[in-house]
Amino acid sequence: MAEGKEIRPVKRGLTGTIRIPGDKSISHRSVMFSAIAKGKVRVMNFLEAADCLSTAACMRTLGAGVDRQADGALLVTGVGLHGLKEPQCVLDAGNSGTTLRLLLGISAAQPFFSAFAGDASLSGRPMARVIEPLSRMGAVIKGRAGNRFLPLAVLPREGRLRAMDYESPVASAQVKSAILLAGLYADSGTTLKEPALSRDHTERMLGAFGATLRREGTTVTIEPADELFSPEEIIVPGDISSAAYWLVAASLIEGSDLVLEDVGVNPTRTGILEVLSDMGADITLSNERESGGEALADIRVRAASLHGVSFGGAIIPRLIDEIPILAVAALFAEGDTVISGAAELRVKETDRLKAVTTELNRLAPGAVEATEDGMIIRGDRALSPAVCRTYDDHRMAMSLAVAGAAGEGVTLDAPACINISYPSFFETLDNLVQ
């Protein structure tokens, strides 16, 4: 059995400057899109974490060159839009839904057979939301339990996929990206409409690779392409989802004053900043700039007294991964916080609504009530130290660690899952409190 991790209460402020690891969403896409383009790309600040390494391994298996350079950059040698090779083994997506769903969009159009597998968590996550629209485009994808779950097999496709107009029932960047990538191989323009705008890293990066896209509101159209062409370099900004833990920790721990450098502040990802500001957080942005179509900034956060808020609806896709750490912020805030429209959390690495409710109630009994699509968090309760489960979910582990550091301590049963997105998290926390 893996050894647990004790997080002790932090009684003095977190101060200093942190460089946030590369954005996970952009790291995935930088390798995948470079692999299906012509040319060589140096990817700077690529996230060396398990999920992104799964994508790199899959693209190598499909014939692209993915090599670590002496200066830390990742050099990706693309094979072109039609140059992928039939894999000689099963493509293992590990724990990464992004790897799997986006690669299904690419594999759906290939003239060869491919098979996908993943870990126990990914094997229980729904894939029908991607398989159904790809099947409408002419893909043939077979899987377990009515073609809904891993393992999955994608049969060879002769000729181009069929273009379509598709109205997605969910605002999901992974669903959108799979369809847009398949649309590169379609016989005419493919249009997708979402109920709300999800993160748009795919559209921005495909545009940088020469794809033709048009967006109006929550509708995006992509035209088929004969080839994509690589930029010489992609600089991956710091991941705002990883920055979120420090934004909340520094807000809660008295005397804190942190600067987070080079964080991505793409407007489809900054819901966390808006909600924390509404709660009374002291957050300021400086050195705002762009790189590769993505907005970056340095973020300063200082300790502040937070109060409860209500949020849901269109903002949820812009902060879906940050809801566990926002629940921690709400636990310490004055008054109640009501979160709605977050049913998507039930099909993440674990049922995060259930997991957050269960574990935060270990620290503050009766403070959190799960609803069908969200939570009610009654803040400013007395906290106690507790042993908490991470559910092998990286975002649960780091959120609980912040709760323990800001409160009365916590022991995490399985902390190694942080390697999915932020391998240096505990080391950074230790350095900040020394």
Of 330, 331, 349, residue with least CA distance to 394: 349
| Coil, helix or strand at residue 68 | strand
321 an active-site residue? yes
Radius of gyration (Cα) for the chain, nearest Å? 21
Cα dihedral 131, 136, 142, 143 in deg (nearest 10): 30
Strands (E), 332-434: 336-339, 368-370, 375-378, 386-388, 410-412
Element (H, E) at 67: strand 65-68
Of 6, 272, 323, 268, residue with least CA distance to 260: 272
CA dihedral sign, ordered 148, 165, 295, 210: positive
Taking a C-beta distance cutoff of 8 angstroms, is the pair 353, 345 a contact?
A: yes
d(CA 271, CA 255) in angstroms, rounded, equals 25
Of 289, 373, 381, residue with least CA distance to 335: 381
d(CA 129, CA 188) in angstroms, rounded, equals 22
Beta bridge partners of 152: 116, 143
Q: 261: which 2 tokens? A: 């450098």
Beta bridge partners of 65: 77
Whether the ω angle into residue 385 lies within 30 degrees of 0, i.e. cis, is no
Set 200, 321, 380, 392: catalytic member: 321
Element (H, E) at 326: helix 323-332
User: Tokens 């977050």, residue?
Assistant: 342
Give the pairing type, strands 149-154 and 91-92: unpaired
d(CA 105, CA 137) in angstroms, rounded, equals 10
| Coil, helix or strand at residue 283 | strand
d(CA 56, CA 99) in angstroms, rounded, equals 9
User: Tokens 């629940």, residue?
Assistant: 327
Q: Active-site residue numbers?
A: 321
